[in-house]
Amino acid sequence: MIEIRDLVKTFHPGSVNEVLALAGINLRVKNGYFITVIGSNGAGKSTLLNCLAGSYAIDSGHIQIGEQDLSYWPEHRRASLISRVFQDPLLGTCAALSLEQNLALANRRGCRHGLGRGVRRVDRELFRQQLQQLGLGLEDRLRDPVGLLSGGQRQALTLLMATLIRPQVLLLDEHTAALDPKTAQQVLELTVKLIAEQQLTALMVTHNMRQALQLGNRLIMLHGGRIILDVGEAEKAAMSIEDLLQKFYTVRGEEFVSDRMMLV
Amino acid sequence: MSYFAFMGALEQGFAYGFLVLGVYLTFRVLDFPDLTVDGSLPLGAAVYAVAISAGINPYLSLFLAMLAGFAAGAVTGILNTRFGILHLLASILTMIALYSINLRVMGRPNMTLLGKPTVLDPLTNAGIGLFNAAPLLFGLLSIVGLLLLLWLLQTAFGLCMQATGANPQMITSQGVATSRVIILTVGLSNSFAALSGALLCQSQGAADVNMGVGTIVAGLASVILGETLFGCRSVGRALLAALLGSVVYRLAIALALGLKLGQFSVTPSDLNLLTALLVVAALSLPGLRRKVLRR
Ligand SMILES: Nc1ncnc2c1ncn2[C@@H]1O[C@H](COP(=O)(O)OP(=O)(O)O)[C@@H](O)[C@H]1O
Ligand SMILES: [Mg+2]
C-alpha cells in the first residue's frame, strides 16, 4: 500500500523561475494495483515519480509505503522498497559493466555491498534463467559489456533488474518512449508479464492514451501538478480515448487544439 | 642509457606505480579529477620520514603513510559529497591545506633518512646490491598493489565503485550511497599516492615538502601513456597498462634528460613543461584526429 498525502514540490522557490510542479498530490494505491499515469507535458508526472523515488526532496507532505514513512529518506535508502525504469534506456544500466555484473548489483538492491565476490557462480545460473525468459538471446552474453546492447535490450535488462528482487513499488516513466515501435511493444509486453507474475504495485507514466486505457487497473491524469482525473477499473474498461479526452476538457475547458496534439 | 640509469628509471617507475594506479582509480574508474595527490604524495613521504626517524619499523611506517594518505583523500571526498564543493575545487583545497600540514608533520621543509633502517634492509642483507634491490622490491610491491586492486574491483563494492563513476543514477537506484563510495575510493587512491611518496622518500633518502609539485600531471601522463601503448579493454588490462605506463614514462624522462639539441639540453626543471605538453597532446589528439577525418 502506497499512501501519498498533500505532496508539494516547487522548483527554484523564491526565484523568477519558480515552478509549482506538484500542487498537493493525494493518492492511495492498494497492493497489487497497476496504475497508468497520463497528462500533458509539464503536468508533473516525472516529478511525482522522482519525488517517490527520492531523486527530488519534497517541500511538504508525506509518502508512506506499508507502515514506513519515507518522506525524508535519501534516494538510495528508498531503493530497498522502490525500483524504477527510466525513459532513457542508458540510465538504468551501467555500460562499462557486463550483464552479469549489472544483474549482480540489482540482486543486492538495498543490501550491503561488501568485499565478497561481485558475481558468484550460483548467481550466474539464476541470471541465465532470468535472461532466458526475455527471449532476446542475452543468456549467452553474460560477460558482454552492457554498452554493446541496443536500447531495447538495455531497457528489457533494466526491467529485469528492477524486478529481480521484488520491489514494493515499481515506477516506470515513459520507459518505452525512446524505443522504436516494435521494440517498445516487446518491452511493454515484458512489463505487463513481470507485473502480473509478481503481482507488483506499479505506477506507469505513458503518453499513449490507448495504452493507458488498456493496461493496468486504474488510471490517473495529472495536470498542473494535481490529479484531475482518477478512473477505477470498471469505468476504465468501458472508456474510449474520446471519452477520456472529453473528461479532460470538461475538467480544464481550454487549449483544446494544442493539448490534443500532445496527448494522443 | 647506462644500466644504472635504467635501473634507476625502473625504481622510479615502480615507486610512482602506486600513484598511477591511484590516479587511474579516481580519473578513470570514479570519473573524479582529484588533485589531492600533489599534497598526499609528499604527505606520505613526510609521515614515512618522521616514523622512520622515530624508530618505527619501516614496513609499519609505509602503512602509516598510507593511512595518512587515506585520511587526506577522504577529506576531499567529504568536501565534495557532504559539503557540495565541486570535486576539482575540493581536491585543490585539500592539496593546499596539505602543504601546511606537511610542514607541520616534519617540522621543517625537508628531512633525510641517513643511517636509519630502510624497507630495503631485508634484501640488501640477503646480498642483493642496492641498485637492484630497490627496483626489485618496488616492482614486487606494485604488483601486489595491482592484484589487490584487481580483486577489489571485482568485489560487490568494486562494482559499486565502477558504477558510481559510470552511472551514478543507476547505482543510487540500486540502493548504494554514492557519497560513501566516493569518500572511500578517493581515500584509497590517495593512500596509494602516499605510499608512492614514502617509497620515493626511501629511494631518494629524503622527504621534501616540494616533492609533490606536478604529481597529478605526471600521474595522468603515465595513465594515458599506458592506455595508448597497452590498451584498456578490461579492468585488469587497464590496471596493468597504468603500472607499465608509469615505468615507460620514467624511462622516457630518463632518456629525455640525456637529450641534447645543439646548444639546448633538457634539464630536470624542464620536465613539468614537457609532461604538461605530453598530456595536452594525448588529450587533444583523438579529438583533433576526429575533426580532420570528418573533413
Ligand atoms: N529539475 C527541474 N528543475 C526545474 N524545473 C523542473 C525540473 N523538473 C521538472 N521541472 C518543471 O516542473 C514541471 C513538471 O515537469 P515534469 O514533472 O517533468 O512533467 P511531465 O513529466 O509530466 O512532462 C514542468 O513545468 C517542468 O518544467
Ligand atoms: Mg516526464
| pLDDT 10s digits, B56-108 | 999 999 999 999 999 999 999 999 999 999 999 999 999 999 999 999 999 99
Which ligand has its closest atom nearest to the C-alpha of A49?
1
**Cα separations in angstroms, A79 against A103, B81, B169, B170:** 15, 20, 12, 11
Residue type for position B73 = G
Residue whose C-alpha cell is 559493466? A97
Higher per-residue confidence, B272 vs B101: B101
Tell whether A80 is within 8 A of chain B (Cβ).
yes
A43 CA from centroid of ligand 1 (Å): 8
User: Of A116-120, A198-202, A251-255, B112-116, which gets the smallest average pLDDT?
Assistant: A251-255
Tell whether A114 is within 8 A of chain B (Cβ).
yes
Tell whether A30 is within 8 A of chain B (Cβ).
no
Of B155, B175, B176, the CB nearest to A117: B155
Instruction: Find out whether the beta carbon of A47 lies less than 6 Å from any atom of ligand 1.
Output: yes
Mean pLDDT of B201-229: 94
Domains (range + CATH), chain A: 2-93+166-262 (3.40.50.300)
Average pLDDT, chain A: 92
pLDDT at B206: 96
Mean pLDDT of A113-135: 93
Domain for residue B220, yes or no?
Answer: no
**What gap in Å lies between CA B65 and CA B57, rounded to an integer?**
12
Helix axes B156-166, B130-154, angle to 10 degrees: 80
Which ligand has its closest atom nearest to the C-alpha of A39?
1
pLDDT at A264: 46
Domain for residue B250, yes or no?
Answer: no
Mean pLDDT of B205-227: 94
Instruction: Find out whether the beta carbon of A224 lies less than 6 Å from any atom of ligand 1.
Output: no
Domain range for residue B96? 3-211
**What gap in Å lies between CA A229 and CA A237, rounded to an integer?**
15
A19 CA from centroid of ligand 1 (Å): 8
Q: Does the pLDDT of residue A86 top 50, yes or no?
A: yes
Alpha-carbon torsion, ordered B5, B9, B15, B16, to 10 deg: 150
Domain for residue B223, yes or no?
Answer: no
The answer to whether the CB atoms of A115 and B155 lie below 8 A apart is: yes
User: Of A10-14, A41-45, A49-53, B290-294, which gets the smallest average pLDDT?
Assistant: B290-294
Ligand 1 atom closest to residue A12's alpha carbon, by position in its atom list: 4
Domain for residue B133, yes or no?
Answer: yes
Residue whose C-alpha cell is 634539464? B267
pTM of the complete model? 0.93
Q: Could you tell me if B113 and B120 are in contact, meaning their C-beta atoms sit under 8 angstroms apart?
A: no
The answer to whether the CB atoms of B157 and A86 lie below 8 A apart is: no
Q: What percentage of chain B reaches a pLDDT higher than 70?
A: 98
pLDDT at A261: 46
In chain A, alpha helices (H): 45-53, 75-78, 99-106, 121-132, 151-164, 181-198, 209-214, 233-237, 241-252, 256-263
Q: Whose CA is nearest to atom 6 of ligand 1?
A: A11
Instruction: Find out whether the beta carbon of A167 lies less than 6 Å from any atom of ligand 1.
Output: no
**What gap in Å lies between CA B61 and CA A158, rounded to an integer?**
47
Which ligand has its closest atom nearest to the C-alpha of A41?
1
| pLDDT 10s digits, B6-24 | 999 999 999 999 999 999 9
Residue whose C-alpha cell is 595518512? B68
Ligand 1 atom closest to residue A50's alpha carbon, by position in its atom list: 17
Higher per-residue confidence, B238 vs A255: B238
Mean pLDDT of B138-167: 97
Where b means 16+ CB within 10 Å and e means fewer, B113-135 reads beebebbbeebeeeeeeeeebbb
Q: Could you tell me if B24 and B198 are in contact, meaning their C-beta atoms sit under 8 angstroms apart?
A: no
pLDDT at B4: 87
B176 contact residues in A (CB cutoff 8 A): 76, 79, 105, 113
B171 contact residues in A (CB cutoff 8 A): 94, 105
**What gap in Å lies between CA A61 and CA A225, rounded to an integer?**
14
Domain for residue B13, yes or no?
Answer: yes
A-chain residue closest to B167, CA distance:
A94
Question: Which residue of A18, A41, A46, A50 sits with most ligand 1 atoms within 8 Å of its CB, as the best mutation to test the pocket?
Answer: A46
Domain for residue B171, yes or no?
Answer: yes
SS (H, E, C) A41-107: CCCCHHHHHHHHHCCCCCCEEEEEECCEECCCCCHHHHCCCEEEECCCCCCCCCCCCEHHHHHHHHC
Ligand 1 atom closest to residue A205's alpha carbon, by position in its atom list: 21
Average pLDDT, chain B: 93
Number of domains present in the structure of chain B: 1
Per the document, the length of chain A is 264
pLDDT at A36: 97
Of B155, B157, B176, the CB nearest to A76: B176
A87 CA from centroid of ligand 2 (Å): 8
The rounded Cα A49 to chain-centroid distance in angstroms is: 7
Instruction: Find out whether the beta carbon of A225 lies less than 6 Å from any atom of ligand 1.
Output: no
Instruction: Find out whether the beta carbon of A11 lies less than 6 Å from any atom of ligand 1.
Output: yes
Q: Could you tell me if A29 and A51 are in contact, meaning their C-beta atoms sit under 8 angstroms apart?
A: no
Ligand 1 atom closest to residue A174's alpha carbon, by position in its atom list: 21
pLDDT at B237: 96
**What gap in Å lies between CA B105 and CA B107, rounded to an integer?**
6
Question: Which residue of A19, A41, A48, A51 sits with most ligand 1 atoms within 8 Å of its CB, as the best mutation to test the pocket?
Answer: A19
The answer to whether the CB atoms of A108 and B175 lie below 8 A apart is: yes
The rounded Cα B86 to chain-centroid distance in angstroms is: 22
pLDDT at B263: 82
A41 CA from centroid of ligand 2 (Å): 7
Tell whether A74 is within 8 A of chain B (Cβ).
yes
B-chain residue closest to A144, CA distance:
B234
Q: Which residues are registered as beta bridge partners of A171?
A: A84, A203
Highest mean pLDDT among A117-121, B157-161, B252-256: B157-161
Residue B260: count other Cβ atoms within 10 Å of its Cβ: 8
pLDDT at B266: 84
**What gap in Å lies between CA B146 and CA B17, rounded to an integer?**
9
Residue B140, C-beta contacts closer than 8 angstroms, at least 6 positions apart? none
Phi/psi for A225 (5° steps) reads 80, 15
Alpha carbon of B20: minimum distance to chain A alpha carbons (Å): 21
Confidence of residue B293 (pLDDT cuts 50, 70, 90): low
Residue whose C-alpha cell is 477520456? A244
pLDDT at B294: 67
Angle at B234 between CA B233 and CA B239, to 5 degrees: 105
pLDDT at A244: 87
Confidence of residue A258 (pLDDT cuts 50, 70, 90): very low
**What gap in Å lies between CA B244 and CA B229, rounded to an integer?**
9
Domain for residue B36, yes or no?
Answer: yes
User: Of A160-174, A210-224, B231-245, B258-272, which gets the smallest average pLDDT?
Assistant: B258-272
Mean pLDDT of B148-174: 97
**What gap in Å lies between CA B201 and CA B12, rounded to an integer?**
11
Residues 125-184 of B with CB under 8 A from A: 152, 154-160, 162-163, 166-167, 169-178
**What gap in Å lies between CA B21 and CA B152, rounded to an integer?**
13
Mean pLDDT of B248-259: 88
User: Three-class SS of residue A174?
Assistant: coil
pLDDT at B295: 57
| pLDDT 10s digits, A206-255 | 999 999 999 999 999 999 999 999 999 999 989 999 888 888 788 776 55
| pLDDT 10s digits, A61-71 | 999 999 999 99
Instruction: Find out whether the beta carbon of A43 lies less than 6 Å from any atom of ligand 1.
Output: yes
| pLDDT 10s digits, A15-34 | 999 999 999 999 999 999 99
Instruction: Find out whether the beta carbon of A51 lies less than 6 Å from any atom of ligand 1.
Output: no
Q: Could you tell me if A106 and A132 are in contact, meaning their C-beta atoms sit under 8 angstroms apart?
A: no
Residue B274: count other Cβ atoms within 10 Å of its Cβ: 16
A-chain residue closest to B156, CA distance:
A118
Strand A218-223, strand A169-173: pairing: unpaired
ipTM: 0.91
A46 CA from centroid of ligand 1 (Å): 7
Residue type for position A154 = R
Residue type for position A212 = A
Domain for residue B136, yes or no?
Answer: yes
Q: Does the pLDDT of residue A263 top 60, yes or no?
A: no
